[in-house]
């Protein structure tokens, strides 16, 4: 987080205060959750907090105006207990934390990882759709109504499952789920038993096989039908993609019966790694930040303000309305008023359909939500 001038912090706190006065927070299972609060320097400066009712949580927020409000996806008998073991774990929601930085996008090489452009937001939304439509619904059997989507307030989304069936999963089951969606430990030889034997017929998965095998077979068939660019998107080189496309009929026919001999690929290991890589969900690898694996992790609470952007970490109404969801339009907290700032950024910020910037040390009056976003991102100062 950029170091913030005290004057920026106090302006932010006064705006946050007005927001919370009009928008009290609410959350299910309040008394079973642990809460954490952050400053502009530290996302979670204080944790192990618990509240008996919504009023006392809202009173705490109004009195302290934290820069970040977090809550546990875990439920406890005694959420304020310390150490963690004293809390009496009752269960945890299953959470997937998707962040644009984990996607290693080309645009990030240009604008850096602290900035978030339209492409970052688009790509991370596609990643969320992929998780929901390629994994959570077909492979795990969840339905749209089991799946909650929250904008994180900055660069991504939290996908949360709260159904009874997941609450009791232990850490090893959560690890296995994380490994499955990230493709961790996926081995081509488990789908292609004869891959190492150059003389044998290449046996492989069929499109209607369950799990990863079927996923890979369907991906190749779909891409073959769509054309060369779709094959390239699976990590296949252009000359190879062209060759495959020319033989599309016989390749598709073969794959349908599990015969992959027609897919003549020189470096099979690399090919499968690329194909599976393009289909996995990109989550942070480090155990500490892999929220799916770690049920003790605190998560930015829905419908509170993110202290790094001034945006609302808003819950998306439903999976079906997610397509239309635009954080830069739907998560605005400071609707009214304007602020004079000195803006300095090479990037363009688009909020509510209007482009702001690039600016070179420009004194400019901006809507409060734009000014606050730039001040908190460190690309504007107060004069």
Q: Which is nearer to Zn ion, 108 or 276 (CB)?
A: 108
Strand partners, 97: 158
Nearest-approach distance from CB 368 to Zn ion, in angstroms: 24
Interacting positions 89-128 with Zn ion (CB under 5 A) = 107, 117, 119-120
Q: Which is nearer to Zn ion, 113 or 315 (CB)?
A: 113
- The token pair that represents 254 in the structure block: 């073969």
Nearest-approach distance from CB 107 to Zn ion, in angstroms: 3
Across the chain, the runs of DSSP E, i.e. the strands, are 35-38, 46-49, 68-71, 74-76, 89-92, 94-99, 147-151, 156-161, 299-300, 315-316, 338-345, 349-351, 354-356, 359-367, 380-381
Nearest-approach distance from CB 188 to Zn ion, in angstroms: 32
Nearest-approach distance from CB 123 to Zn ion, in angstroms: 8
Residue of 170, 133, 164, 138 whose CA lies nearest to 149: 133
Q: Specify the residue for token string 């937001």.
A: 121
Nearest-approach distance from CB 373 to Zn ion, in angstroms: 15
Binding mask 165-194 for Zn ion (x = CB under 5 A): ------------------------------
Q: Which is nearer to Zn ion, 109 or 145 (CB)?
A: 109
Q: Which is nearer to Zn ion, 107 or 328 (CB)?
A: 107
Instruction: Please enumerate in sequence order all residues whose Cβ is within 8 A of that of 73, keeping only pairs 6 or more positions apart, or say none.
Output: 92, 93, 94, 95, 160, 291, 295, 297, 299
Taking the C-alpha atoms of residue 30 and residue 49, their distance in angstroms, rounded to an integer, is 11
State phi, psi for 292 to the nearest 5 degrees: -60, -40
Half-sphere exposure of 230 (CA within 13 A, CB side): 13
Radius of gyration of the chain (CA): 24
Q: Which is nearer to Zn ion, 256 or 348 (CB)?
A: 348
Burial (Cβ within 10 Å: 0-12, 13-18, ≥19) of residue 225 = exposed
328 binds Zn ion (CB under 5 A): no
Q: Which is nearer to Zn ion, 124 or 186 (CB)?
A: 124
Residues near Zn ion (CB under 5 A), total = 4
Taking the C-alpha atoms of residue 26 and residue 48, their distance in angstroms, rounded to an integer, is 18
Q: Which is nearer to Zn ion, 85 or 106 (CB)?
A: 106
Nearest-approach distance from CB 129 to Zn ion, in angstroms: 18
Nearest-approach distance from CB 354 to Zn ion, in angstroms: 19
Binding mask 264-303 for Zn ion (x = CB under 5 A): ----------------------------------------
Interacting positions 195-254 with Zn ion (CB under 5 A) = none
Nearest-approach distance from CB 218 to Zn ion, in angstroms: 29
Q: Which is nearer to Zn ion, 107 or 128 (CB)?
A: 107
Instruction: Please enumerate in sequence order all residues whose Cβ is within 8 A of that of 135, keeping only pairs 6 or more positions apart, or say none.
Output: 180, 181, 281
Binding site for Zn ion (CB under 5 A): 107, 117, 119-120
């Amino acid at each position: 987080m950029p170091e913030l001038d005290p004057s920026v912090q106090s302006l932010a706190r006064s705006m946050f205060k007005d927001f919370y006065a009009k928008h009290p927070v609410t959350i299910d299972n309040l008394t079973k959750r642990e809460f954490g609060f952050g400053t502009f320097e530290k996302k979670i400066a204080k944790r192990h907090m618990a509240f008996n009712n919504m009023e006392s949580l809202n009173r705490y927020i109004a009195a302290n105006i934290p820069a970040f409000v977090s809550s546990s996806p875990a439920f406890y008998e005694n959420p304020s207990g310390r150490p963690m073991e004293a809390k009496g774990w009752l269960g945890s929601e299953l959470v997937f934390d998707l962040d644009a930085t984990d996607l290693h996008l080309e645009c990030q090489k240009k604008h850096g990882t602290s900035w978030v452009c339209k492409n970052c937001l688009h790509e991370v939304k596609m990643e969320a759709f992929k998780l929901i439509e390629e994994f959570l619904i077909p492979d795990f059997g969840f339905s749209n109504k089991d799946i909650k989507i929250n904008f994180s307030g900055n660069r991504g989304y939290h996908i949360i499952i709260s159904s009874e069936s997941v609450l009791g999963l232990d850490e090893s089951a959560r690890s296995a789920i994380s490994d499955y969606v990230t493709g961790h430990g996926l081995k081509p030889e488990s789908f292609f038993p004869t891959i190492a034997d150059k003389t044998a017929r290449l046996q492989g998965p069929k499109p209607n096989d369950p799990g990863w095998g079927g996923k890979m077979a369907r991906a190749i068939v779909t891409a073959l039908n769509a054309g060369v660019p779709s094959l390239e998107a699976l990590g296949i080189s252009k000359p190879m993609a062209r060759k495959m496309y020319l033989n599309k009929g016989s390749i598709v026919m073969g794959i349908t019966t599990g015969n992959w001999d027609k897919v003549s690929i020189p470096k099979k290991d690399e090919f499968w790694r690329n194909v599976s890589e393009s289909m996995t969900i990109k989550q942070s690898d480090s155990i500490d930040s892999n929220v799916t694996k770690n049920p003790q992790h605190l998560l930015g609470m829905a419908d509170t303000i993110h202290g790094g952007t001034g945006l609302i970490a808003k819950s998306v109404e439903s999976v079906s309305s997610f397509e239309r969801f635009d954080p830069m339009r739907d998560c605005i907290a400071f609707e009214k008023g304007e602020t004079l700032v000195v803006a300095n950024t090479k990037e363009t910020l688009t909020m509510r359909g209007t482009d702001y910037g690039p600016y070179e040390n420009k004194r400019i009056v901006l809507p409060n939500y734009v000014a606050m976003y730039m001040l908190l991102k460190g690309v504007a100062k107060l004069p």
